[in-house]
Amino acid sequence: MNTQGAHEERDTDNRPSADRLVRVLAGRWTLVVLTKLSTRGCRYQDLHDRVEGISHKVLTDTLRRAERDGLIIRNLDAEHIETATLYELTDLGRSLDTPLAAIDRWVESNWERVESARRHWDHRVGQS
């Protein structure tokens, strides 16, 4: 029996909200996958094709974590037996649409400033 999962659940109960949020959304590809699923459900290969640079193993792991956290659901599509699994956001996953859209707007509005700060830091540290 894997007791690590049960321990992780208990361990997060007393953590600040930001820590719990990071445990759910911090995977490198989690936000990308959730964003791709926000427009429509996708079969595995379609989702893999839409997420540039992700390996099959990492996509599988990301989908499993998101399903475990209640953010997505796997539905069987009886019309497409050969590719029967359709991944969709749950109501809980869909509740992230507004916060993720706000993050996307922040990135669009501030990315040049982030890159400028990085260049400034790199230049300053490089001169040390």
Fold of 13-95: Arc Repressor Mutant, subunit A (1.10.10)
Do you know the residue count of the chain? Answer: 128
Chain segment 83-104, per-residue pLDDT in tens: 678 999 999 999 999 998 999 9
Q: If residue 74 lies in a helix (H) or strand (E), which one and from where to where?
A: strand 72-76
> Residues 27-41: pLDDT tens digits?
889 999 999 999 899
pLDDT for the residue 13? 61
User: Is pLDDT larger for residue 91 or for residue 6?
Assistant: 91
- Read off the tokens for 74: 């796997």
Is-contact 88 75, C-beta < 8 A?
Answer: yes
DSSP string, 18-50: HHHHHHHH-STTHHHHHHHHHHS-EEHHHHHHH
